[in-house]
């Protein structure tokens, strides 16, 4: 598909079809602006026919705007699968949370994305298409971007689709393309430890966030099956390596689950684990997923947990829950449009 290609590759492609090179740039601009080829007027009909089979393969099928302005986009792909992106409005700009897989096979006990397992990986172009369409919908263009930040925190585990995800990173940071700085991109992982080293060794310097959610391996195993494969100690070691290589402060997600991980004792343990590490902890209260029995910690207690961490010298903030009234909050993205979602 055309969005899998860089400008140079598109140029090569149109030349190989017998067209002059400048047509490549016109085609590239059209698809990155989210235009449907049928509606593009500056390209010959014959060229459009030549590349028709490679046209980006999905559109926005549903758009839900929450009370706080958070917007959930649902995309229907050619094979009938659905993926979602969530757009969040901050004072500094628009952040798009993109999906990297249809479904997920990580099996975290609190997350809706994993309920049907992994359906398939998204290609780099399919991840990019979410950015293209949301940008267009927010009245942005390739030259004048509306989307300023990207987080790979939607459906799927980015490190379970490493090759396509890193190809997407190259495309979206390319100066011919959206030219988004790596500083404005965040990858979130449940902790596939070897891939943290690989990302650093492959020369990337995006922000890295670890979904930690527990302070001991024993407790973590109960809610996150990946903890059976990689210990917290190993993950933290990899994070230190990532920091040394990139200079980027590490993020940790800590989702508060009532009665499970939200006591002051747990806050103390968390502070001990992260002591001395250049990091920031994002605390969030668990968002409800109706198939799951786990409950989120109430606001007051969540703020007290954060305060306790701060008093122990840990940089931590409570993240606002955004978009939960449209099923767009963390852990609520799913691969099928179930009743009421």
Q: Which of 110, 162, 168, 178 binds ligand SAH (CB under 6 A)?
A: 110
250-256 vs 58-65, strand pairing mode = unpaired
Q: How far is the CB of 251 from ligand SAH (least distance, A)?
A: 9
Q: Are 112 and 332 in contact (CB under 8 A)?
A: yes
Residues 6+ apart with CB under 8 A from 228: 221
Q: How far is the CB of 174 from ligand SAH (least distance, A)?
A: 24
Per DSSP, the residues of 75-96 read EEETTS-EEEEEEEEETTEEEE
Instruction: Rank residues 47 and 195 by Cβ distance to ligand SAH and give the closer one.
Output: 195
* CA 72 vs CA 83, 94, 328: distances in Å: 10, 13, 6
Query: Residue 307 burial (CB < 10 Å; 0-12/13-18/19+)?
Result: middle
d(Cα 73, Cα 287) in Å, to the nearest integer?
19
State the CB neighbour count (10 A cutoff) for residue 225. 16
Which residue minimizes CB distance to ligand SAH? 331
153 binds ligand SAH, rule: CB under 6 A: yes
Q: Are 190 and 108 in contact (CB under 8 A)?
A: yes
- The site for ligand SAH, by CB under 6 A, has a size of 18
Selected range binding ligand SAH among 73-81, 229-237, 267-275, 282-290, rule: CB under 6 A? 282-290
230 binds ligand SAH, rule: CB under 6 A: no
Instruction: Rank residues 29 and 157 by Cβ distance to ligand SAH and give the closer one.
Output: 157
111 binds ligand SAH, rule: CB under 6 A: yes
What is the Cα Rg of the chain in Å?
Answer: 21
Q: How far is the CB of 176 from ligand SAH (least distance, A)?
A: 28
Residues 6+ apart with CB under 8 A from 266: 215
330 binds ligand SAH, rule: CB under 6 A: yes
Q: How far is the CB of 261 from ligand SAH (least distance, A)?
A: 12
Instruction: Rank residues 51 and 190 by Cβ distance to ligand SAH and give the closer one.
Output: 190
Question: Is 330 annotated in the active site?
Answer: yes
Q: Which positions from 160 through 199 interact with ligand SAH, judged by CB under 6 A?
A: 188-190
56 binds ligand SAH, rule: CB under 6 A: no
Q: Which of 253, 260, 262, 266 binds ligand SAH (CB under 6 A)?
A: 253
Q: Which of 157, 164, 193, 262 binds ligand SAH (CB under 6 A)?
A: 157
Strand order in the sheet with 250-256: 58-65, 71-77, 82-90, 93-97, 147-152, 185-189, 207-211, 250-256, 279-285, 316-318
211 binds ligand SAH, rule: CB under 6 A: yes
d(Cα 318, Cα 301) in Å, to the nearest integer?
11
Structure tokens at 115: 């309920």
Instruction: Rank residues 47 and 256 by Cβ distance to ligand SAH and give the closer one.
Output: 256
d(Cα 20, Cα 276) in Å, to the nearest integer?
57
Instruction: Rank residues 97 and 132 by Cβ distance to ligand SAH and give the closer one.
Output: 97
Question: Is 84 annotated in the active site?
Answer: yes
Q: How far is the CB of 292 from ligand SAH (least distance, A)?
A: 7
Of 90, 150, 154, 156, the C-alpha closest to 118 is 156
Q: Out of 52, 59, 84, 339, pick the active-site residue.
A: 84
d(Cα 238, Cα 277) in Å, to the nearest integer?
12
Q: Which of 51, 236, 284, 326 binds ligand SAH (CB under 6 A)?
A: 284
331 binds ligand SAH, rule: CB under 6 A: yes
286 binds ligand SAH, rule: CB under 6 A: yes
Active site positions, annotated: 84, 330
Q: Which residues bind ligand SAH (CB under 6 A)?
A: 106, 108, 110-111, 153, 157, 188-190, 211, 253, 255, 284, 286-287, 289, 330-331
């Amino acid at each position: 598909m055309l969005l899998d290609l860089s400008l140079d590759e598109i140029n090569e492609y149109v030349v190989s079809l017998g067209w002059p090179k400048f047509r490549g740039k016109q085609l590239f601009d059209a698809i990155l602006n989210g235009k449907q080829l049928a509606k593009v007027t500056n390209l010959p009909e014959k060229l459009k026919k030549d590349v028709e089979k490679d046209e980006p393969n999905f559109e926005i099928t549903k758009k839900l705007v929450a009370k706080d302005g958070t917007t959930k986009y649902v995309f229907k792909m050619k094979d009938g699968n659905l993926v979602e992106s969530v757009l969040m409005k901050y004072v500094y700009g628009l952040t798009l949370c993109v999906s990297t897989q249809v479904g997920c096979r990580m099996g975290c006990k609190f997350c809706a994305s994993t309920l049907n397992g992994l359906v398939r990986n998204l290609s780099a172009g399919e991840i990019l298409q979410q950015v293209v369409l949301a940008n267009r919908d927010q009245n942005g263009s390739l030259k004048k971007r509306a989307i300023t930040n990207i987080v790979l925190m939607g459906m799927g585990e980015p490190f379970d689709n490493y090759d396509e995800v890193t190809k997407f990173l190259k495309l979206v940071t390319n100066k011919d393309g959206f030219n988004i700085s790596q500083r404005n991109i965040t990858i979130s992982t449940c902790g596939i430890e070897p891939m943290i080293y690989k990302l650093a060794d492959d020369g990337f310097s995006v922000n890295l966030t670890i979904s930690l959610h527990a302070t001991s391996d024993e407790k973590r195993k109960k809610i996150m099956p990946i903890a059976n494969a990689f210990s917290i100690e190993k993950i933290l070691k990899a994070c230190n390596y990532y920091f040394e290589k990139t200079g980027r402060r590490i993020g940790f997600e800590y989702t508060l689950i009532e009665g499970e991980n939200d006591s002051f004792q747990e806050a103390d343990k968390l502070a001990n684990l992260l002591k001395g590490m250049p990091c920031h902890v994002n605390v969030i209260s668990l968002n409800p997923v109706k198939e799951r029995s786990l409950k989120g910690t109430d606001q007051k207690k969540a703020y007290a947990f954060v305060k306790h961490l701060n008093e122990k010298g840990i940089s931590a903030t409570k993240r606002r829950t955004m978009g939960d009234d449209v099923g767009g909050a963390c852990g609520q993205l799913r691969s099928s449009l179930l009743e009421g979602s």
